[in-house]
């Protein structure tokens, strides 16, 4: 089992890593995902997937054999300073995977869904994906204008949720016509109280732009408009927090 060692800043693979770590659009252009850190790597393996490349710090040779990866997985050791230079973490991780980006998928009708309407913050998007995977959602559909689902910051916030969800992005409202699900929209000022509502299942939960909320056209198409009780008196909740509350309410009704 051979391990390549890279110490040159001009190496082609290192240049790819820099792009993947810093450019949200690079993954789609290169057809690759950079999974930095042990947690994301383990999450990928737990779903029965294999990376194409294992990259580790030159000072951490034990990662070459830690996961018993087959010989077909390329193993590359990067000088520690070079690996730190492509890290998006506060303290660089000693290991990561390169994994082929899944082919673009189409939305499937009838599957429990989260629909993201122009959410801008990658942390919010990743957090919602994590809640969706934990609470029984099968697919996440992102309308055009939403942060790229495979962007590095979204991946880190998702903590491995990506590998358990069907992800479709770059959609237009017209693409949702065949979804064949009741649409549940959240609102901070109108609609039925979430804790009093009978929630349909399966359904599609709509979560909108951090400042503007769900677009008027989608709000008009919703079969249910729901709001979360806030006895503390705040004007609104962070969209990722609101999503977790709504998805948990769906799960509790199914389990109850």
What average pLDDT does range 212-235 have in this prediction? 87
Instruction: Compute, in degrees rounded to 10, the torsion defined by CA atoms 50, 76, 35, 82.
Output: 180
Residues 6+ apart with CB under 8 A from 2: 75
Residues of the chain above pLDDT 90, percent: 80
Question: Which helix H or strand E contains 192, and what residues bound it?
Answer: strand 192-193
Separation CA 125–CA 161 (nearest Å): 11
Task: Give residue 187's pLDDT.
Answer: 80
User: 3-state class of 143 per DSSP?
Assistant: strand
Output the pTM of the full model.
0.93
Residue range 142-166, pLDDT digits in tens: 999 999 999 999 999 999 999 999 9
User: 3-state class of 132 per DSSP?
Assistant: helix
pLDDT at 235 over 80: no
Question: Which helix H or strand E contains 75, and what residues bound it?
Answer: strand 74-78
Contact assessment for residue 47 and residue 68, using Cβ atoms and an 8 Å cutoff: no
Q: How far is CA 186 from CA 29, 96, 116, 121, 238, in A?
A: 34, 37, 12, 18, 12
Task: Give residue 128's pLDDT.
Answer: 98
Separation CA 215–CA 34 (nearest Å): 33
Q: Around Cβ 174, how many Cβ atoms within 10 Å?
A: 6
Quickly tell me which residue has 């949200």 as its tokens. Answer: 24
pLDDT at 184 over 90: yes
**Range in 7-21, 61-75, 211-225 the model is least confident about:** 211-225
Residue range 19-35, pLDDT digits in tens: 999 898 899 999 999 99
Residue range 134-147, pLDDT digits in tens: 999 999 999 999 99
CB contact burial 21-34 (16+ within 10 A = b; e otherwise): beebebbbebebbb
What average pLDDT does range 168-186 have in this prediction? 92
Average pLDDT, the chain: 93
pLDDT band at 40 (very low <50, low <70, confident <90, very high): very high
Q: How far is CA 70 from CA 1, 20, 46, 48, 55, in A?
A: 9, 24, 15, 13, 15
Task: Give residue 186's pLDDT.
Answer: 85
Residue range 43-65, pLDDT digits in tens: 999 999 999 999 999 999 999 99
Write down all domains in the chain, each with its CATH number in brackets.
Answer: 3-100 (3.30.1330.30), 113-255 (3.40.1280.10)
Residue range 86-120, pLDDT digits in tens: 888 878 899 999 999 998 888 999 999 999 999 99
Contact assessment for residue 202 and residue 135, using Cβ atoms and an 8 Å cutoff: no
Separation CA 148–CA 126 (nearest Å): 10
Strands 53-57 and 74-78: parallel
pLDDT at 234 over 90: no
What average pLDDT does range 212-229 have in this prediction? 90
């Amino acid at each position: 089992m051979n391990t390549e060692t890279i110490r040159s800043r001009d190496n082609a693979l290192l240049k790819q890593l820099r792009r993947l770590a810093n450019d949200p659009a690079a993954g789609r252009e290169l057809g690759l995902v950079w999974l930095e850190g042990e947690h994301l790597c383990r999450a990928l393996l737990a779903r029965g997937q294999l990376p194409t490349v294992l990259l580790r710090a030159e000072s951490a040779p034990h990662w070459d054999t830690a996961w018993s990866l087959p010989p077909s997985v390329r193993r590359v050791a990067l000088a520690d300073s070079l690996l730190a230079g492509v890290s998006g973490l506060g303290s660089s991780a000693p290991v990561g995977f390169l994994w082929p980006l899944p082919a673009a998928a189409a939305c499937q009708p009838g599957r429990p869904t989260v629909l993201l309407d122009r959410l801008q913050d990658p942390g919010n998007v990743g957090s919602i994906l994590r809640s969706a995977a934990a609470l029984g959602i099968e697919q996440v559909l992102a309308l055009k204008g939403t942060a790229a689902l495979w962007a590095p910051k979204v991946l880190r916030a998702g903590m491995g949720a990506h590998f358990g969800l069907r992800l479709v992005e770059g959609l237009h409202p017209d693409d949702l016509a065949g979804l064949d699900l009741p649409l549940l929209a959240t609102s901070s000022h109108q609609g039925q109280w979430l804790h009093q509502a009978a929630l349909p299942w399966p359904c599609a939960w709509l979560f909108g732009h951090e400042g503007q909320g769900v677009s008027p056209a989608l709000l008009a198409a919703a079969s249910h408009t729901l709001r979360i009780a806030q006895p503390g008196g705040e004007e609104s909740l962070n969209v990722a927090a609101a999503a977790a509350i709504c998805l948990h309410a769906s799960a509790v009704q199914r389990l109850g």
